[in-house]
Chain A
Amino acid sequence: EIVLTQSPGTLSLSPGERATLSCRASQYISSTYLAWYQQKPGQAPRLLIYGASSRATGVPARFSGSGSETDFILTISRLEPEDFAVYYCQHYGTSPPIFTFGPGTKVDIK
């Protein structure tokens, strides 16, 4: 069973700063099946990144994903006020099919 660990748990930053969020898998995973989501209070999650580095439709270019094997990064180059939210990474395992979410990183205003 693959476990995803996200760090830090909370990231306190100011608008305009760069945010770097980490997602670590307990064993090797295919980057093809690593996604990132943004969730704001009272809202459903929103897909940001899939395949570790591809932006979903309509996602601003300030969001980027990278990484491979067990270590993956979500970077927000310059935080906008609307970016303060919780971010989850998610992995899809194919055999057997199972979706696993990380515990989330909260990005809040410093």
Chain B
Amino acid sequence: QVGLQESGPGLLKPSQTLSLTCTVSGASISTGTYFWGWIRQAAGNGLEWVGRIWTSGDPDYNPSLKSRVRILVDTSKSQFSLRLTSVTAADTAVYYCARGHWGMFESWGQGTLVTVSS
């Protein structure tokens, strides 16, 4: 059974860059049938897709974040990462990493809270 664990700083100042890593265990990150994604959830709000990446292809990003987001994969470490530049308070959220298949996210990490505050 696949495991996903998010890690990274929990507190950022406005204009800084958010960097999170998701470590995958119990399954190969290189399996071509799966993609790896990030979803976020602001407090009391719904779910917002941030982006996803295939280990063998280009990433796809939410158009509303595309100019600020980058997702990379490191198969040697069984990790994928999220970078979001120029953060503001509106980027404060719980960030989840997840494994996807077809058009859904079938396995999720527990989530990590990122707060943007001066």
* Chain A positions near chain B (C-beta within 8 angstroms): 32-33, 35, 37, 43-47, 50-51, 56, 88, 90-92, 94, 96-104
Contacts and interface: CB of A to CB of B under 8 A. Distances in A.
Contact of A100 (B49, B60, B96, B104): B49
Given A44-B108, A46-B108, A92 B103 contact: yes
- Chain B interface, >50% SS class: strand
B103 A91 contact: yes
Contacts of B98: 44
Contacts of A51: 102
A57 to B, nearest CB: 8
Interface of B: 37, 39, 46-49, 52, 60, 62-63, 96, 98, 102-111
User: Which of B46, B47, B108, B111 is most buried by chain A, counting CB atoms within 10 A of its CB?
Assistant: B47
Contact of B46 (A43, A98, A102): A102
Contacts, number: 67
B33 to A, nearest CB: 14
Contacts of B63: 96, 98
Contact of A101 (B48, B106, B109): B48
Contacts of A102: 46
B51 to A, nearest CB: 9
Given A44-B108, A96-B60, A101 B103 contact: no
15 contacts: A32-B103, A33-B102, A35-B105, A43-B110, A44-B98, A45-B47, A50-B104, A88-B46, A88-B47, A90-B105, A94-B103, A96-B63, A99-B103, A101-B47, A104-B47
B14 to A, nearest CB: 26
A32 B104 CA distance: 10
A58 B100 CA distance: 17
A71 to B, nearest CB: 18
B108 A56 contact: no
Contacts of A96: 60, 63
Contacts of A43: 110
Nearest to B4: A44
